[in-house]
Structure 1
Amino acid sequence: MAQKGRAMADQPALIRVHPDDSVAVALRPIQAGEALELDGQTVSALDDIAQGHKLALRDHAAGDVVRKYGQSIGKAHAAIARGAHVHTHNLSTALAGELTYAAGTAHDGQAKPAVEATWHGYLREDGRAATRNEIWILPTVGCVGLTAEQVAREAQLRHADLIAAGRIDGIHAFSHPHGCSQLGDDLAGTRSVLAGLAANPNAAGVLILGLGCESNQIAELMALLPEAARSKLRSLSSQRAGDELAEAGALIDAMVQEAAKAERQPLPLSALVVGLKCGGSDGFSGLTANPLLGRFSETLANAGGTPVLTEIPEIFGAEQALLDRAKSQEIFAAAADLVNGFKRYYLDQGLPVSENPSPGNLAGGITTLEEKSLGAVQKAGHAALSAVIGYGQQTPLGGLSLLEAPGNDAISSTALAAAGATMVLFTTGRGTPLGFPVPTVKVASNHALAKAKPHWIDFDAAIALDEGQDVADKAFLNRLIAIASGERTAAEKSGQRAIAIWRRGVTL
């Protein structure tokens, strides 16, 4: 249970996340010399400490483990006095390379009372549910990316009345620079992610727009789609077409008319597939926003829904607790192999596995990758790990899945949509305007960001510190139900939609 400390003016100043922690987090800026009370004891701040940064609760000698979340977040590389600022000047990562993980006893995570919740979405022919009813244009190759965007803009204008009336939710093109000059697994990755996007339930109709001479041929891409998803696809080769704009427009018009017949209907929480993502994290992310997502993930999984966790490099240092929740030894082994495979990916390039955190993370108070990871994995709560899926693969329904993808915001969020997520819950402490193919719900970790960027942020998770977890959880669930039922996110309102594809191979 997190414990708050107060300054002499009785204003909360510190929070200790776990009783075993040797540091506390500043809830507001602290000045050197302030006397702060925590757990009935007084500690004097020796340094100025920014909001979200850490203060030492005991003396540490060089080499001592520093603890937060009840776990090691690294080792002191210099002596740290009680009351001192703990950051990069005196704390370093203890991460190295691959590990041999001990298989724990498989169990079903933490049980939670069932929550009755209904949202209104679109039930597709294959039995999957959608939060949006849209037409997507997916170029096979970067050469026709701008053409796809032009087709989408013109179609949006032609069908503005149906969009305004809510019969369809939009017509969108997702351009990218890939699809040619790629080989082997790299090309296969591009193809599988585009196929996964095409299969996403939020796309009622999909136009696969090709050039004609590219490596990523239309037929090979379409062959990867599940049989149930192929009926909603149309394709066009620009080199073979006469007027490709006119022909693409006609295909779009026919799909729009068909999509406009769909109606929202009441659906259970179990029908939701939700991607879990964090970006621009700060020292509050692991205190407010990520635990909020974790409690929702437990609720969703308990109801039979599907949370999907990714960003594999951002679980380094926190993976054992996740592995311990694997529902079988096979899932445990697959997850352990995925984590070690990512570490090998860095080591083979001559890079350390601990290159994270980013400059923004550091400015926000996160010092080491262990600290970042221990905050990040909280997005999955205590839900049992039910599946491990590769990049570009579809998630099975029901329970928590672990998806292969890097930490990069755009690449991992695109992979979540390609895996079948119809919403992405995106926590942030520093803020970002970018959205992705499916509704991207931005969750601020702190009040300052939520107040400064209301055109970026959909929910302020810091209310959990003021009003308690139960109030925050209820408000968050209501907000998600509204968005799943059609209320637009900040990113949707501002037209912020993009994809990014993970390119790992050589370029011809």
Structure 2
Amino acid sequence: MLDTGIPVALPDALQIHASDSVAVALRDLGAGEAVWVNGASVAVKAAIPKGHKFALAAHAAGTPVIKYGLPIGRTTQAITAGEHVHVHNLATALAGEVAYAPSAAAAKAQVQHATGSGVMWQGYLRADGRAATRNQIWILPTVGCVGLTSEQIARAAEARHAALIAQGRIDGILAFAHPHGCSQLGDDLGGTRALLAGLAANPNAAGVLLLGLGCESNQLADLLAAIPTSLHHKIRMLSSQSAGDELAEAAVLVDELVAQAATAQREPLPLAALTVGLKCGGSDGFSGLTANPLLGRFSDALAAAGGTPVLTEIPEIFGAEQALLERAVDAATFDAAAALVNGFKRYYLDQGLPVSENPSPGNIAGGITTLEEKSAGAVQKAGNAPLCSVVPYGDQARGPGLALLEAPGNDAVSSTALTAAGATLVLFTTGRGTPLGFPAPTVKVASNRTLAQAKPHWIDFDASRVLDEGLEAADAAFLNTLMAIASGQKTAAERTGQRAIAIWKKGVTL
């Protein structure tokens, strides 16, 4: 697997892995400038924007380019040393499905849990033994028709219970509207129901009001049946068509849930109690150098302590999946993960689309050229921990150890899926920036200082600190930030009220 540390960086450029055939510019480089990389001078042929790549040696046309120690595509023309390597001369080598098999050198991954990391945080221990970072009431509409009604109910309830919120007795009353729940069929409807049931089961939701319309496909009784019966004590339901004054009746139910939730108190909990979602969005050329490896080192520590890091965005591991698969703890996990990757590839191919229709325009502007390059940087969020489980969309991650969750790369869809899988924190790395947050506290980690300084109201941690403070200091600061947020400190998205959900809709609409 990839190196988890960052080599000593000179001020101009960085060769990430010893086998790489390209280096990354750490600042804007001018044409003709001599750049020192690992003790050798390379003459830059043309201007190289910060975060972009240039060749360390000549490449013939049709040959692999290596970054992170992995191939990130093939050259479309001959490239000389010092030349800018990007979309004009590098293309993906990805095609379709792959018959995955462990390499001859692969050894069975071994899970080794530490006896105790000593890291503690203040959280809520629920009756089912799971831990929460927040003590909130969530209103989940079964269907889009009552989405705005759910928001009305939440606003009125927050006003009624402002004193309890100010005292920290509860951490908020939130509604999560969406446009689905009706005019859906089969697995598409089942996916919506499973996702909402997963959200209702999240430990951060101390109480849940399921708000229905009445005539929708996603019936309240069916949704309740998808939620474990051990959690039904925290669920209330209301059908708007059957109610007299649905706002008044909902207020009574929410008030019951608030009274129940307000009895909970934070207590010291170990690192092992955390389930943490791993996400990247708006990546740039620094995401794989600073922010994603930072998450990877935390993921390793979390998994070693007995906690549960959850990786998703399956299409954004295409091209780097073999290294992840070889960390599977057994053959069944390897096969399930391989089937998940190939299933996503088939999903694209069945629509007549290439599996490599990525990166986004923002990724390309930030220096990422191919999906393989994006994937090689993205999988670093999962560190080097053994892959212990594969989780279907809408299902719960049942750690300990690294889990791979079925969900696409879309920021809102995958972050919502992470919350439905039980994540009580979502760590979201970004090189371009985004204000949006999700039901679980969403920790925005900037890959570069420019973004962190420009958008302090979006960003919670500047991962570029690893380049000038070193790994140990930056990792310690990051861990302190995460434990403070887990213990109740608000994220930037929470402070600005940026919280939403999105559901993965795969089928036809009636």
TM-score bracket for the superposition, by shorter chain length: over 0.9
User: Match of 1:152, SS?
Assistant: helix
Amino acid in the other structure paired with 1:228: S
1:492 aligned partner: 494
Alignment of 1:262-301 (within 5 A): 262-301=264-303
Give the deviation of 1:3 after TM superposition.
Answer: 4.4
1:74 aligns with 2:73: yes
1:98 aligns with 2:97: yes
1:214 aligned partner: 216
2:336 aligned partner: 334
User: Match of 1:441, SS?
Assistant: strand
Distance 1:454 1:272, change over 3 A: same
Distance 1:17 1:109, change over 3 A: farther
**Cα distance in 1 between the residues matched to 2:145 and 2:170:** 28
Aligned 8 A contact 2:44 2:83 in 1? yes
Amino acid in the other structure paired with 2:32: G
2:256 aligned partner: 254
Aligned 8 A contact 1:109 1:382 in 2? no
**Cα distance in 2 between the residues matched to 1:479 and 1:147:** 36
Distance 1:429 1:131, change over 3 A: same
**Cα distance in 2 between the residues matched to 1:40 and 1:52:** 20
**Cα distance in 2 between the residues matched to 1:2 and 1:481:** 24
**Cα distance in 2 between the residues matched to 1:404 and 1:223:** 22
Aligned 8 A contact 1:4 1:13 in 2? no
**Cα distance in 2 between the residues matched to 1:427 and 1:291:** 10
1:376 aligns with 2:381: no
- What are the Cα deviations for residues 150-197 of structure 1, in whole angstroms up to 9, with x where unaligned? 000000101000000000000000000000000000000000000000
Aligned 8 A contact 1:387 1:402 in 2? yes
Aligned 8 A contact 2:15 2:38 in 1? no
Distance 1:303 1:111, change over 3 A: closer
User: Match of 2:439, SS?
Assistant: coil
Give the deviation of 1:108 after TM superposition.
Answer: 2.1
- What are the Cα deviations for residues 45-70 of structure 1, in whole angstroms up to 9, with x where unaligned? 11101110001100111111100001
- What are the Cα deviations for residues 439-478 of structure 1, in whole angstroms up to 9, with x where unaligned? 0000000000000000000000110011111111100100
**Cα distance in 1 between the residues matched to 2:167 and 2:297:** 35
Aligned 8 A contact 1:287 1:375 in 2? yes
Amino acid in the other structure paired with 1:51: K
1:9 aligned partner: none
Amino acid in the other structure paired with 1:323: L
Amino acid in the other structure paired with 1:92: A
**Cα distance in 2 between the residues matched to 1:434 and 1:247:** 31
- What are the Cα deviations for residues 376-416 of structure 1, in whole angstroms up to 9, with x where unaligned? 00000001000001000011121000000000000000000
Give the deviation of 1:4 after TM superposition.
Answer: 5.3
- Aligned match for 1:481, one of 483, 487, 509: 483
1:44 aligned partner: 43
Aligned 8 A contact 1:32 1:45 in 2? yes
1:24 aligned partner: 23
**Cα distance in 1 between the residues matched to 2:291 and 2:356:** 23
- Aligned match for 1:135, one of 134, 137, 148: 137
Distance 1:114 1:92, change over 3 A: farther
Give the deviation of 1:109 after TM superposition.
Answer: 6.5
**Cα distance in 2 between the residues matched to 1:276 and 1:332:** 20
**Cα distance in 1 between the residues matched to 2:8 and 2:364:** 23
- Aligned match for 2:325, one of 323, 326, 337: 323
Amino acid in the other structure paired with 1:427: T
Aligned positions, number: 503
Amino acid in the other structure paired with 1:147: T
**Cα distance in 2 between the residues matched to 1:381 and 1:5:** 20
Give the deviation of 1:5 after TM superposition.
Answer: 6.1
Aligned 8 A contact 1:137 1:172 in 2? yes
Distance 1:44 1:150, change over 3 A: same
Alignment of 1:408-423 (within 5 A): 408-423=410-425
- What are the Cα deviations for residues 236-293 of structure 1, in whole angstroms up to 9, with x where unaligned? 0000000000000111011111111100000000000000000000000000000000
Give the deviation of 1:230 after TM superposition.
Answer: 1.0
1:166 aligned partner: 168
1:54 aligns with 2:53: yes
Aligned 8 A contact 1:114 1:299 in 2? no
**Cα distance in 2 between the residues matched to 1:91 and 1:440:** 34
**Cα distance in 2 between the residues matched to 1:115 and 1:121:** 17
**Cα distance in 2 between the residues matched to 1:5 and 1:159:** 52
TM-score, normalised via structure 2 length: 0.97
Amino acid in the other structure paired with 1:76: T
1:120 aligned partner: 122
1:229 aligned partner: 231
**Cα distance in 1 between the residues matched to 2:30 and 2:483:** 42
Q: RMSD value over aligned CA atoms?
A: 1.1
Aligned 8 A contact 1:47 1:84 in 2? yes
Aligned 8 A contact 2:114 2:306 in 1? no
Aligned 8 A contact 2:184 2:509 in 1? yes
Give the deviation of 1:115 after TM superposition.
Answer: 2.6
Aligned 8 A contact 1:112 1:298 in 2? no
**Cα distance in 2 between the residues matched to 1:375 and 1:273:** 22
Aligned 8 A contact 1:110 1:382 in 2? no
**Cα distance in 2 between the residues matched to 1:78 and 1:229:** 59
Distance 1:47 1:207, change over 3 A: same
1:309 aligned partner: 311
1:88 aligned partner: 87
Aligned 8 A contact 2:279 2:311 in 1? yes
2:12 aligned partner: 13
User: Match of 1:162, SS?
Assistant: helix
**Cα distance in 1 between the residues matched to 2:316 and 2:285:** 15
Q: Which runs of 5+ in 1 are unaligned?
A: 7-11
**Cα distance in 2 between the residues matched to 1:59 and 1:182:** 54
